[in-house]
Amino acid sequence: MTDRLTNFISTMLCSILILLFVQVAAAFGEEKPSPKDTAVTAAKPSPTAVLAKVNGVAITRGERDQALQQMMAQSRVPQPVSPEMTQKMETATLDQLISMELLYQKGKKLTIKDLDKQVDAKLAQTKSQFPSQADFEKAIATANLSEKKLKDFSRKNIIINTLLEKEVLGKINVTDADAKKFYDENPDKFKTEARIKASHILISVDQKATPEEKKKAKEKAQALRKRVAKGEDFATVAKTESKCPSAAQGGDLGYFSKGQMVPEFEKAALALKPNEISDVVETPFGYHIIKLIDLKPVETIKFDDVKGKIGDYLKQQQAQKPMTDYVATLKKEAKIEIVK
């Protein structure tokens, strides 16, 4: 499954379910599986097997397993997962799907303007992220999904979120003052990492190369370094001589922050000044000549640029208890059957 399709399906899981599951997963995350622990690999019953009924509507094993896969990916549950932890998480996921079905059933009683148009617009937005219709169809086929199923996900998501906005979220008020207070009290959360922009010329060397082969590669890198040091255009030399895919862009690697490059490369790049060229630098990939293009120091993001995101975050935090209470009320009023 592509990241784009994964993101789309993830957004189809309403906020409260992700929120509740993350709390469960975080608790289980304290469990440290031993090296002998493995995920359950025994043959499972049919994905069409019914695990629960909510006011007569069935929830199948296949639906539970798909939701569990998505939520584990979002929650970054430690691997490998022990059989005991797997069982707990399956139970928690089924409970969340029951909550989702309850919300959906309640939400269907609302009148939602242009619901079909909203669903179509969401699907069109997702399709637009793929190069072609064929790529989109290939992605959903790989994920064992269909366009109809994606539309069903979207419809359910819109209905549930509309209900939650009306019954819970719309009653929560987060002011600009609240957002500013959070911003002032958490300065480290709003700092960018220092980033550098660099170009390089790479003379690659196989790690199994002989000393003689390494010597020739280094000598070639030193000769290229002399050429650019004398004023020959760095990008032109990179395009014709570099063995890195970045050669097509004149060696341009774009911006990167600490930890994204191998240590030898990073140390050499950080020691340069803008437009300065390094000596030949050896890394496991071979020999590099590095040119520093730009340096962006640590910066503080302006409040106005993150005010909206802070407000959304605070609203979600404040919504945890009322959302949980609202779902608990729906459960008391419903007929829920767990199929053993």
Could you tell me if 161 and 170 are in contact, meaning their C-beta atoms sit under 8 angstroms apart? no
Rounded to two decimals, the pTM is 0.59
Residue 294 β-bridge partners? 197
d(CA 275, CA 296): 14
Percentages helix, strand, coil for the chain, rounded to the nearest 5?
Answer: 55, 15, 30
Q: What is the architecture of the domain spanning 3-175+308-338?
A: Orthogonal Bundle (1.10)
Nearest Cα to 10, choosing from 161, 129, 157, 159?
A: 157
d(CA 49, CA 59): 8
Tell me where in the chain the CATH 3.10.50.40 domain(s) lie. 195-296
Tens-binned pLDDT, residue by residue, of the chain (340 aa): 444 444 444 444 444 443 444 344 443 444 444 444 444 444 557 889 999 999 999 999 988 988 887 777 666 556 677 888 888 889 999 999 999 999 999 999 999 999 999 999 988 988 888 888 888 888 888 877 788 988 998 999 999 999 999 999 889 999 999 999 999 999 989 988 888 999 999 999 988 889 999 999 999 999 999 999 999 999 999 999 999 999 999 999 999 988 889 999 999 998 999 999 999 999 999 999 999 999 888 889 999 999 999 998 998 899 989 999 999 999 999 999 998 6
Q: What is the architecture of the domain spanning 195-296?
A: Roll (3.10)
Residue pointed to by tokens 């289980």: 28
Range 55-83 burial, b when 16+ CB lie within 10 A, else e? eeeebbbebbebbbebbbeebebeeebbe
